[in-house]
Structure 1
Amino acid sequence: MRSDSPAPEPAASLTPIAWRPVLAITAALAVVLVAVSGQYGYFVDELYFLVAGDHFSWGYADQPWLAPALAHLMDTVAPGSVAVLRVPALIATAAGTVLTAALARELGGGRRAQTLAAAVHAGSFGTLFAGHLLATSTLDAPLWTGTVLLLVRWIRYDRASLTGWRRDRLLLGAAVLTAISLQIKYLVPILWVAIVLALLVFGPRKPLTRPLLWGGLALAAASAVPSLVWQAANGWPQFAMTSVITAENGGNGGRAMFLPLALFWAGALSGAALAVYGVVAALRRAEYRPYRFLGIAPVLVLLAFTVTAGRPYYAAEVFAPLWAISAVAVTAAAPAKWWRWTFSKPVLVLSAVFAIVAALPVLPKDTVSPTDQFLTKPGTTGWPELADGVAVISSRLAPDTAIITGFYPQAAALERYRNGRFTQPVYSGSRGYWFLGTPSPDTRSVLFVGPVPESLRAAFTTSEPIGGYDNPHGIPVVNGPLQFTLLSGRNRPMDQIWDGLRQLRPA
């Protein structure tokens, strides 16, 4: 069996990139994602991005501007097309697969290592789940991988005694990717803090002495100023968003479950095993000494997400370096180990098939219950029916009625699917939707979608239930009919009522 020698000496040339198998894997991934891209409907965040993009701003309560802008652009190109909306996600996911293979090559991996790294990336649950949705984590992940790739290449160039612009421009390139990432999410500083700490402890420290690194990162930070100005002007709702996510994840219970769920996102078997072995290989194998920071930086990032009770899908952004470094190690000539079966072709295929069934909308739409809380199914069905229900009720509503929903995707879905059937404005105090519109002071009554908060009920003299909508979809972990309630006889100023519905309050 031909071996792939990991971590070559600096002067040695790298193995040519294995374009044929890597592109074949990437193409297969793209075919799968395209095949399911039009299934079901918009995901909850996609609905929000569409409405937020219609209210363009350099900042939003829960993320910067780029994802809503992309959603608006794609919907302008092909109005109402879920498949076209997800084209940027497809491109980002395919790029992530190629970059993971390129990182394995940069670490000394040959054809087998590059192929394994690409296969594990393409077949992981996190890649497939995020890859078929326009989500911030989908767009951000390849930027993190590319940043690490450029840093690893800088170290290789430095070990080869290559100095000057050809070497240091790689650090500037990493800063450019960081700047782009800062327009998608605010998480990439966590990656850089983890990298700096890992380099300080494990080395090499030389990248930290390069002016282009710090100058580039300063420019990257400057690129986030417009979004930060918006945050400051609106009371830093991003900090409140962190508290909301922590509460939704169950507080300490969410922290305890973060790592197991993150490993599930990495891949129930092969992906998780490679991620864990990547840490071991980076820290224990002598040939990886120059890249030892790759084993500890992802762990520090995962620890930060655990402490803050972040979403498990955040972890999708840190696994690529671990997959790459372990792919090189496990394909190198070595005595057979009992655990090597987890990286065998049958197991890789089985893991990919499981991920496809679990993460993608492959079942017929009419077989999926909107109340099903399993994986991707809630959040992508039932939205047109919700708008149908409001359209039926709208004939009973006075012109000065506002529609307010308890959960932000419900409001976004009503905007997306109203199709001129009702004219009443739609609002929600949920998360960042509160900032997208304010009810008129002349609003006299409210049609509330979802469980009515007691503070809102107390602001009106009359509360009248109006039928029900047998799809609680959009109310997390709640089963039963979704109630419509008409509130009339307002006894407080509308601005006070609206402020009371704000979920993300000033820090």
Structure 2
Amino acid sequence: MREANDATAARRGFIALWLVVFAIKWVVAARLPLFVDEAFYWQESRHLAWAYSDLPGLSAWLASIGDAIAPGNVLALRLPFLLIGAAVPWLVAHMTIRELDVRSGWLAGSLTLLLPLAGTLGLLALPDAPLLLASVLCLDAGLRLLRRVDAFVAGELALGLVIGGLTHYRFVAVIAVGLFALLALREGRAALRSPWTWAAVAIGALAWLPLLLWNLQNADAGLRFQLVDRHPWQFSGEGFRLGRMQLLLATPLLLAAMTVAAWRGLRDAHAGVRDLALSGAMIVLGFLALGFFADRERASFHWPLPGYIALLPLVPAVLARWHRGWRIAAWSFAAFGLATVLAFYVVASVPALREQTASRNFHPTNFAGWDVLARKVDDTLATMPPGTQLLAGNFKIAAELGFARGDADIAVLDHPLNHKHGRAPQLALWGLAHDTRESLGKVPLLLVASSNDVDFRDLLAHYHRLCEQVGPLPPPRVLNIDHGRQRFLLFELGATRRDGPCTTPAMAFLDAPASSASVGDSFEVAGWAFKDGVGLRGVDVLVDGRVVARARYGEANAGVADFWRGSTDPNHPRVYFRSRVVDLSSGRHWLGLRLHGLDGSSEDWPAQLVVVR
């Protein structure tokens, strides 16, 4: 009777938690601006194909279904992914109930909801949702194979393999681990002798055919990006930092419980338990090891998630042996981890909250300001000649503006970011990639560029590259989002390329005070600023967007020209400035600069935080 009551309580707890989490995700998904990758999958959904340069086609197909429900609506776009994410905890629960017991099943489902990356699954329209669904289906089918092989099990395995093969290259790891686990178990080897199993594998293999054909037709561009270009394949100690992030997102006590569960599970008499332990441990440890040699520039903290999900069914039995205080702590830490990740998305969805994080490393830059940019673009186009064409400085801007404007065919300049994220070949196939403005014809252009998408040390070279592509740059309309943490530059270009030397946006740096420095109510402001092609005539100091002082500009500083050797500002080396800010009230303030060019331009530089004591 007690066991039945415990199982009933676990079931009710799971359902209540599922409803709460799903409701929160629904509200956040409706308000959260599109992440840049989501916007690109939307763009792919407007050019439906079996495969693309970055991924197979399933994510774009799901995005197309959502977009068809309500075009231009972020919640509709995410809806298929939200539903997939909502289904995964139920699948984990029922898989665990069948293999272990009822109470453990509902507890495993609850742990899936609380595991931060699994609990937020589907909140964004990204491949992670169908990829985890495919992994769970294959895991469930693999456990069934250990009992018996029939048409139903083969169908489930085939479905999982097809979904995974149509979702991501990374699914290869799940296939490899699943095959190894079956080979390692006597019952698994018996299952591999069944023709039903190999029929499922054959169907799953067909799912990779579109990706294979795409790569054969495009000089292996997708394979080279996923397996060669994005990975250094050299050992780096940065793998420790990545590994800490991957493990931290499992939450410490839950991770400890999974470790114990894997250790015990590998020696368990139950074949299904050994399969779960082996599959989970291999995926987690494999991706941890890969982090020392693979891509460390893009987000990869989510890679081990299928491994964590495989271990969760074994965790309730481990927690049952812990002291009550430790059990409560494990559940509390997991809940806190989920709440923290959800809070990040809430902050990203509320401009006033997001702005407060502008001085922090966790500022959600890739979510910030796209709606403001779209309105600015519309307003600017309204003042330009009829027939003006929009030209995006990179794929991010094109995709985000495309979604906001309902236009999936915005022209894109060649940019290192397009290649870094494997999108350049796809843009070329769509006929949207342009090396120079001449390929667009003699039409007025509105070039929308960003100063955030290259390292600061490469920014001047990037501006000169823009001059090579479109000609000397006119004074930009500057749009600073969240005190310049996200910064866009809008250039109004005539129908033909201008003649003359390269004129770039202004550049600056504050030597004093340092960002987030604590200062008195009066303090010195010092730094350098220049503008290639024409030079600057003055620098204003801003506090909270208001001019509070005119800096003394023109002090000699040869070090600036030595560092920026390609600079053509005629004022070098007299590009240093100094000023003094007085009588500031105590508290947080945003210190910025307004740079006045000799060509009549006026550009606000990104602001930095100072705290007045």
Same fold flag (TM > 0.5) = yes
Shift of 1:19: 5.1
1:403 maps to 2:413: no
**1:357 matched residue in structure 2:** 343
Tell me if the contact between 1:269 and 1:351 (Cα under 8 Å) persists in the aligned partners.
no
Q: What's the CA shift for 1:103?
A: 2.5
Mapped contact 2:347–2:353 kept (Cα < 8 A): no
Give the CA deviation at 1:455: 4.4
TM-score normalised over the length of structure 2: 0.66
| Unaligned stretches of 5+ residues in structure 2 | 452-461, 500-613
Structure 1 distance, partners of 2:348, 2:180, is: 43
Distance 1:201 1:424 in 2: 50
State whether residues 141 and 317 of structure 1, in contact with CA within 8 Å, keep that contact through their aligned partners in structure 2: yes
In the superposition, relative to structure 1, how do residues 279 and 463 fare at CA in structure 2: closer, same or farther (>3 Å)? same
| Alpha-carbon distance between aligned partners in 2 of 1:84 and 1:351, rounded to the nearest angstrom | 27
- 1:11 is matched with which residue? none
Q: Compute the displacement of 1:383 (Å).
A: 0.6
Greater per-residue strand proportion: 2
Q: Distance in 2 between matches of 1:485 and 1:127?
A: 42
Output the amino acid matched with 1:206: A
What letter is aligned with 2:280? P
State the Cα distance separating 1:3 from its structure 2 match.
6.8
* Aligned-pair CA distance for 1:130: 3.2
Contact 1:22 1:98 in 2 (8 A): no
How far 1:217 sits from its partner (Å)? 1.3
Flag the 1:129–1:29 CA change in 2: closer, same or farther, 3 A.
closer
Judging changes above 3 Å, is the alpha-carbon distance between structure 1 residues 237 and 255 closer, same or farther for their aligned structure 2 residues? farther
Look up the match of 2:412: 427
Q: Secondary structure at the match of 1:484?
A: strand
Residue 476 of structure 2 aligns to a residue whose secondary structure is strand
- Output the CA distance in 2 between the equivalents of 1:424 and 1:56: 13
2:467 maps to amino acid: R
State the secondary structure of the residue aligned to 2:56: coil
1:317 aligns with: 306
Comparing 92-101 with 21-30, which one deviates more in the overlay?
A: 21-30
Q: How far apart are 1:170 and its partner, in Å?
A: 0.9
- Show the 5 A alignment for 1:107-146: 107-111=99-103, 113-146=104-137
Does 1:470 find its partner at 2:480? yes
Describe the shift of the 1:138–1:490 C-alpha distance in structure 2 as closer, same or farther (beyond 3 A): farther
1:254-287 Cα offsets, whole Å, 9 max, x none, are 5333332222333x24543343333223224x34
Q: Structure 1's 403 and 213: CA in aligned 2 closer, same or farther, altered over 3 A?
A: same
TM-score, length basis structure 1: 0.78
Query: Pairwise CA RMSD of aligned residues?
Result: 3.7
In the TM superposition, what are the counterparts of 1:43-82 in structure 2 within 5 Å?
43-82=35-74
Take 1:24 and 1:140, find their aligned partners in 2: how far apart are those partners?
A: 26
Classify 1:150/1:199 alpha carbon distance in 2 versus 1 (closer, same or farther; 3 Å): closer
Assess, with a 3 A threshold, how the Cα gap between structure 1 residues 288 and 465 changes in structure 2: closer, same or farther: farther
* CA–CA distance in structure 2, aligned partners of residues 335 and 70 of structure 1: 42
Superposed CA deviations along residues 45-96 of structure 1, whole A, max 9, x for unmatched, are 2211221111111111111112112212222211222222222122111111
**2-structure distance, mates of 1:372, 1:147:** 44
Contact 1:106-1:153 within 8 A present in 2 as well: no
In the TM superposition, structure 1's runs of 4+ consecutive aligned residues that sit over 6 Å from their partners are: 15-18
Q: Compare relative contact order (CA 8 Å, sep 6+) and give the higher one, 1 or 2.
A: 1
- State the 1:337 CA deviation: 8.9
**Contact in 2 for aligned 1:402/1:424 (Cα 8 Å):** no
Assess if the C-alpha contact under 8 Å between 2:92 and 2:109 holds in 1.
yes
Q: State the number of aligned residues.
A: 459
The corresponding residue for 2:563 is: none
The 2-side partners of 1:328 and 1:117 are apart by 10
Greater C-alpha Rg: 2
State whether structure 2 residue 171 is matched by structure 1 residue 188. Answer: yes
Partner of 2:207: 223
SS of the equivalent of 2:38 reads helix
Larger % of helix: which?
1
1:495 alignment counterpart: none
Please show how residues 241-280 of structure 1 align to structure 2 within 5 Å: 241-242=225-226, 245-246=230-231, 252=236, 254-266=238-250, 268-280=251-263
Q: What is the Cα deviation at residue 382 of structure 1?
A: 0.8
Q: Is the 8 A contact 1:246 1:308 kept in 2?
A: yes
**Contact 2:139–2:178 (CA<8 Å) still a contact in 1?**
no
SS in 2 for 1:292: helix
The 3 A distance-change label for structure 1 pair 150 and 428 is: farther
Residue pair 1:281, 1:325 contacting (<8 A) in 2 also: no
**CA–CA separation in structure 2 for the residues paired with 1:199 and 1:24:** 36
8 A Cα contact 1:405 1:427, kept in partner: yes
1:189 partner SS = helix
1:484 pairs with one of 490, 497, 505? 490
Give the SS at the match of 2:166: coil
SS of alignment partner, residue 483 of structure 1 = strand
- Residue 448 and residue 381 in structure 1: after superposition, are their counterparts in 2 closer, same or farther (change >3 A)? closer
* Contact preservation (8 Å) 1:104, 1:117: yes
